[in-house]
Amino acid sequence: MRSCVTLFLVFLFVAVFGQEKKDQEFLPPLKIKPVVSGSFGEVRPNHFHSGLDLATNGKTGYRVYSPDDGFVARIKVSPVGYGKALYIQHPNGYTTVYGHLERYSKRIDSLVRHRQYEKHSYAIELFFKKDEIPVKKGEVIAYTGNSGSSGGPHLHYEIRRTASQKPMDPLLFRSDVKDDVRPKIQGLKIYPLDSNSRVEGKHKAKYLSAVYYDKQYHPKGQNIIKVSGKVGVGIQVLDYFSDSWRKCGVRSIELYVDSQKVFMSDVSTFSFAETRYVNSLMDYAEKRHSGRVIQKSFVEPNNKLSIYKKLENKGVIDLDPGDKHEIRYVVRDATGNKSEMTFLLKGVDYPNDQPAAEEEEDMKLISWEKPFKFESNGVSVSISSKSFYTDVPFYFEVDDDSSSFLTPVYVIGRDDVPVQKYFTVSITVPDTVFVPEDKLLIAGVTSKGNPYSLGGKYEDGKVSVRTRNFGKFTLYYDTVPPVVKLYKAPSGLNYRSRKTIGVKIYDKMAGVKDYDCYIDDKWVLFEYDAKTYKLTGYKDHFPKFSGGKHKLKIVVTDGRGNRTEKEYEIVL
């Protein structure tokens, strides 16, 4: 029965997306009960989630199995991101990806470690040919972990089309994940889309929470919403899998106006090249201010997402006075569970005497189609065309009350406006600044007034940085070397009975850029976990040293070239 259901799901994907049919069923990568803690296509800041997160009972070290024959095509080890990651290319046209691993299988681990010693680097990326590391279906390839930017022990599991590297929902290839919970609709938001539009008499978007009765969801306390002109709608949804409290995303959202489908999004697959456009799908400002993730059912001019399967008039609903339309949402999760929401939009003739928000603020608008340049008070901003999803307001302010910095704090744009492309911010170095050029940087400033490094490069009297976020900027510097200290060191630094040597490395401003560890002046491998600021040296990964006293040297450099070197006499 399982095989039939799985094949049906694969063929369903074929019918929808035109993929070549394949008689394919992958083995699950884990042999423990599948608990999904993050779903494919889940809407996250700056990206869609590109795989399944499979919970591992809060522990690491579970065996990971190859779902089919193939070969290891790529290995990437990083202190951030996927951490220890493994890519297996299969002969059927798919590649499977495994992230946040604790370690690889013995034969793979020894090969990776050999290359790390060759390159004197923990962080490494390796590519392999078909006959170098073949694997069999059901073979143990790795062990689950918590490496990289993981928020807790789990396996990140992806399936990609090898030719395009487009990720696909792994649930299309398996039917053992239990899910009989329908999506939960949490709320609704109505947006005025031009200067003449109104929602309940105001040129301001309105959010309404949702309630469930009569077998569907409704806006709480207000089933008829009065509007005028062109409006758009958005919906706040989440989903749960059976036997799990972890919040996940939905597969598809459909919008009907008077029984006619005008909008449909489906995240069965997407391209990594387009994933940042998720900031146009979601209400970015709402997420920043309230934490709500609202998915818009209308499409802004520079939204390049391919997830839209039905789109009439860009999702815009235009109402004249006296018009009344029934609006219905149909939301489905990855296994077909469905929820609906129904409400009415009523056209009302509101007096057009309230200016739009941008007109009230008298702010300059940046056209999404054109490049934009700005220069004032020793600051310049250069933005290329198509960096925004629609026309956006541009703000600039100077905060002179910032004596702890080298320049005033410059407020550039609004931090709740998403930016698609990198743009350049340059700050002129005042004549009164005598900090060495290589120690200067541009810092962002938090709401509490604390600086954090954005980096940057000095040239011709200016420091410039590329960024994709508006906010507060200032000129700062970093002359403080990183902190290096042993972690939970034994008495007398006697590590004979220890399996590992732990070191904490930390840099407050520019951040750790490079590190090297040596025993008796021989480079040794220490693994770096950036989220915990911890280096771990596994003694069985070191070259063989005789028993007795040895010199451990740790050298750490930050992003501005500040260097710390510590030496310890340890016993092995």
pLDDT in tens, 446-479: 999 999 999 999 999 999 999 999 999 999 999 9
Q: CA–CA separation, 353 vs 238, rounded Å? A: 38
210/15: higher pLDDT: 210
Q: What is the pLDDT of residue 268?
A: 97
pLDDT score of 125 more than 70: yes
User: Could you tell me where the beta strands, DSSP code E, fall in 193-240?
Assistant: 198-199, 206-213, 216-219, 224-238
As to burial, measured by CB atoms within 10 angstroms (0-12 exposed, 13-18 middle, 19+ buried), residue 403 is exposed
pLDDT for the residue 25: 76
CA distance 308 to 570: 61
pLDDT-based confidence at 354, cuts 50/70/90? low
Q: What is the reported pLDDT for 244?
A: 85
In this predicted structure, what is the pLDDT of residue 362? 58
Phi, psi of 506 (to 5 degrees): -155, 140
Instruction: Name the nearest CA neighbour of 554 among 510, 506, 495.
Output: 506
* pLDDT for the residue numbered 363: 72
Query: Is residue 548 very low, low, confident or very high in pLDDT (cuts 50, 70, 90)?
Result: very high
CA angle 268/101/135 to nearest 5° reads 80
Average pLDDT over residues 553-561: 98
Instruction: Report the pLDDT value the prediction gives residue 386, as an integer from 0 to 100.
Output: 98
Q: Which amino acid is at 430?
A: P
Mean pLDDT of 181-188: 97
Are the beta carbons of 249 and 238 closer than 8 angstroms?
yes
Render the burial of 11-21: b for 16+ CB within 10 Å, e for the rest.
Answer: eebeeeeebee
Plot region of 309 (φ>0 → left; ψ -120 to 50 → alpha; else → beta) = alpha
| Tens digits of residue pLDDT in 284-331 | 999 999 999 999 999 999 999 999 999 999 999 999 999 999 999 999
- Report, as an integer, the average pLDDT of 168-173: 94
CA dihedral sign of residues 158, 160, 165, 166: negative
Higher pLDDT, 117 or 19: 117
Mean pLDDT in residue range 242-257: 94
Cα–Cα distance between 379 and 107 in angstroms, integer? 54
d(CA 253, CA 281) in angstroms, rounded, equals 12
Residue 531 confidence (pLDDT) above 90: yes
Mean pLDDT of the chain: 93
The domains located in the chain, with CATH, are: 2-173 (2.70.70.10), 184-347 (no CATH), 363-477 (2.60.220.30), 483-571 (2.60.40.10)
